[in-house]
Amino acid sequence: MYNLILFGPPGSGKGTQADYLVKQHGFLHISTGDMFREELSRDTPLGQEARKYMDRGDLVPDEVTIAMLRKRVEQHPDVAGIIFDGFPRTDPQAAELNDMMEEKQASINALILLDVDVDTIVQRILGRAATSGRADDAKEDVIRTRYENFINYTAPVFDFYDRLGLAHRVNGAQSPSKVAQAIADIVGPAAQD
Ligand code: ADP
């Protein structure tokens, strides 16, 4: 199994790169943001709970997020690999992911940070707001809150994987195809195993 964490601030291009990787390798793509939006659109109790946080740009509590993620992983026991997109976003989520991988006798093979500065992020997200239809994309203060939460709660997760020698940094301000090439250079050979 090859398991990859796509990591980076909101609007850094994780979803775009995950799509490329799915096409190339057939990995399972798990985006916790997409999962929450799906719950929201079906107006489930989980969606209603998550909305309170998402609308403000805050993180959904760990217990809720972890339970949802764990269920999705357990539904797909035999995949060739998993791309985690938007998870883990806190230290407790990272610790839990570690346990989950151990239970599967697997591990996280790499974490790739898509590095993009805050001004580029705000411009990108405001630009996509018209087409994404996401309430949290339309307001600059909500985008800035999401970025601040990334810096305060999520960025430390990079160090957790860096200490394990698994963290990589890619310039996410390049064109999508250049970013994809940089990711392929990291993932490429190892993912064939
Ligand atoms: P982006 O990376 O563009 O901010 P996502 O689609 O990854 O957006 O997430 C949207 C929202 O869903 C987040 O702002 C947060 O409220 C919630 N969310 C997604 N993943 C997590 C997570 N791992 N932990 C807590 N909240 C999450």
Of 11, 88, 17, 15, nearest in space to 57 by CA: 11
Please work out whether the CB of residue 94 comes within 6 Å of at least one atom of ligand 1.
Answer: no
pTM: 0.95
**pLDDT tops 60 at residue 179:** yes
pLDDT (0 to 100) of residue 192: 61
Q: List phi, psi (to 5°) of 180.
A: -60, -40
**pLDDT tops 90 at residue 189:** no
Tell me what the pLDDT averaged over the chain comes to.
95
Of 9, 19, 123, nearest in space to 57 by CA: 9
Q: How confident is the model at residue 188 (pLDDT cuts 50, 70, 90)?
A: confident
pLDDT in tens, 97-109: 999 999 999 999 9
Peptide bond into 88 cis (omega under 30): yes
Q: What is the mean pLDDT of residues 53-79?
A: 97
42 catalytic? Reply is no
163 catalytic? Reply is no
Please work out whether the CB of residue 147 comes within 6 Å of at least one atom of ligand 1.
Answer: no
Instruction: Check 72, 104, 134, 139 and give the catalytic one.
Output: 134
pLDDT in tens, 118-152: 999 999 999 999 999 999 999 999 999 999 999 99
